[in-house]
Structure 1
Amino acid sequence: MKRHIDLCESRMEFVFAAAQVVAEAAAAAVAERGRFLLALSGGGTPSPLYDELSRGEFRIPWASTHVFFSDERAVPPEDERSNYRMAADILLSKIPLPEGNVHRIQGERGAVDAADAAERDVRGFTGVAAPQMPVFDLVLLGMGADGHTASLFPGSAALSETDRCFVAAAAPDLDPRVERVTMTLPCIRAARRVAVLTGAKGKREALEAALAGCEEGDETLPVARISASEHLFWIIRP
């Protein structure tokens, strides 16, 4: 695995660097396999990236792209806390992506049922049976000040999952305090490319610790356990 660290000096540089990673991953995936499997992240950090991608200056082969999500809250899709709603409002509703190519996590079903449905969806679509992991071309992630990523929080039982792609996660001790569905570590690590998009402000201690790495099995800093099969990108804005 190759690790790439991009310390951006401006918001514009951050957006360009992230969009370039998406465009390159998409081009390579479609050229080599005929489709691009992309997992989107929630939260505020990727929203300017999604806005940039919606403008069309970066030529993404949307007709050959299938969009999944790295995590979701157990809320309906129209809820303002929904990661799907954020992505739909900013990006998905503005691009020529076939409706059937969006694989949202159905948070309105409750975390456990939604995780089971997401598991069936990704395995049915890719044809990969447990305990093997389907291979995403690119997984986008964020990072919290506590070192969580997706909805993998410090000490979470989800960090010990070995056979599933998606599991339910308890409501964290931060807002919004709702149950979650999260992509698991084995599924993330199986991806060809993973990009962690984060700001440095208020997260410097966790960021430095994450970049330094951690011992396998350490549950205190989940983002430090992230890897990829080919390329791991850290794209850091001021």
Structure 2
Amino acid sequence: MANENLIITDDIDKIAKTAVDYINNQLEDITPENYFTIALSGGNTPKKLFRHIAENYNKALPWKRIKLFWGDERCVPPESDESNFKMTYDNLIKFIDIPPENIFRIKGENDPDEEACNYTKTLEQNLRFRRGHPSFDLILLGLGEDGHTASIFPDRLDLFTTEDYCATAVHPVTGQRRITITGKIINNAVKVTFLISGIKKAKVVREVILRSPEASRYPAYFVNPVDGKLKWILDAEAAGEL
């Protein structure tokens, strides 16, 4: 892996500044009538990133030209503390000047199968197409201790080969239902970035980044953007076994 695709830092400001600069640089290549599209992730590291951007860089981005989506959502209402949308709203959205029509949340309160279909239509109607499929400019992903990413768990590796753009999944421990984008969307993005922190992720990080044979049981192993770029941003603990 090239060094520029792996950032190890404890400095959340460096991560935020990298993200802001990347988005602004990409917007220079997008015509004014178009938008920069981002699929957001839940989790503690994105939470820290969102809050830091809101507090330090909220005026640094042209939010009116940015559309926000989500990579996955728990099947809960938007006011639930388990909602990825609520986490993003509380730490980013309420602090920035982004038009409501630029926010495309997954409606976790709806019937999951119907919402997976509805969100597929949302992607088809609001993303540019590459290689015949909807394509995000940037997807942010987290990583679970079991190697899952978005809401694609180890027992659902089929979600990396399905032709569907969105699907439902069930958390293998809690039984909670989720709605997630699939590998078809993840690997068609222009850029995918993992944001990972914590020593409990170090083993999985090492196996996936080094492409160990045992890593093929992890969904994160199959994140490999076609004609796109994959970046890893880790804190020192998550990178501890590299």
Q: State the TM-score bracket (shorter-chain normalisation).
A: 0.7 to 0.9
Which residue number in structure 2 is paired with residue 65 of structure 1?
66
| Residues 1:27 and 2:42 aligned together | no
Aligned equivalents of 1:126, 1:48: Cα separation in 2: 27
Matched, 1:194 2:192: yes
Q: Is the 8 A contact 1:170 1:180 kept in 2?
A: yes
Partner of 1:55: 55
Deviating beyond 3 angstroms after TM superposition, the runs of 4 or more aligned structure 1 residues are: none
Q: Which stretches in structure 2 are left out of the alignment for 5+ residues? A: 238-242
Q: 1:197 and 1:161, CA in 2 relative to 1: closer, same or farther beyond 3 A?
A: same
Deviations 1:141-198 (A, max 9, x none): 0001110111011021552443222111123314xx4100111112111111111011
2:163 aligns with: 163
**Residues 109, 161 of structure 1: CA spacing in aligned structure 2 closer, same or farther, 3 A cutoff?**
farther
Q: What is the percentage of aligned positions where both structures have the same residue? A: 29
Contact 2:170 2:176 in 1 (8 A): yes
TM-score by length of 1: 0.88
Shift in Å, 1:128: 4.6
Identify if the C-alpha distance between structure 1 residues 87 and 161 changes in structure 2 by more than 3 Å, giving closer, same or farther: same
Question: Residues of 2 paired with 1:60 and 1:109: CA distance?
Answer: 32
CA contact (8 A) 2:78 2:108 kept: yes
Structure-1 separation of matches of 2:73 and 2:190: 22
1:207 to 205, 221, 231: 205
Question: Which stretch has the larger CA shift, 104-113 or 52-61?
Answer: 52-61
Matches within 5 A, 1:51-130: 51-57=51-57, 59-126=60-127, 128=129
Q: Is the CA contact 2:128–2:136 (under 8 Å) kept in the aligned structure 1? A: no
The structure, 1 or 2, with the larger RCO (C-alpha pairs under 8 Å, 6+ apart) is 1
Cα RMSD for the two superposed structures? 2.2
The 2-side partners of 1:157 and 1:235 are apart by 24
Aligned counterparts of 1:67 and 1:111: Cα–Cα separation in 2: 20
Give the C-alpha shift of residue 208 in structure 1: 0.7
SS at match of 1:108: coil
TM-score calculated relative to the size of structure 2 = 0.86
Q: Unpaired segments of 5 or more residues in structure 1?
A: none
Seen in structure 2, the aligned counterparts of structure 1 residues 110 and 158 have a Cα distance that, compared at 3 Å, is farther
| CA distance in 1: counterparts of 2:39 and 2:18, whole angstroms | 13
Amino acid at match of 2:205: L
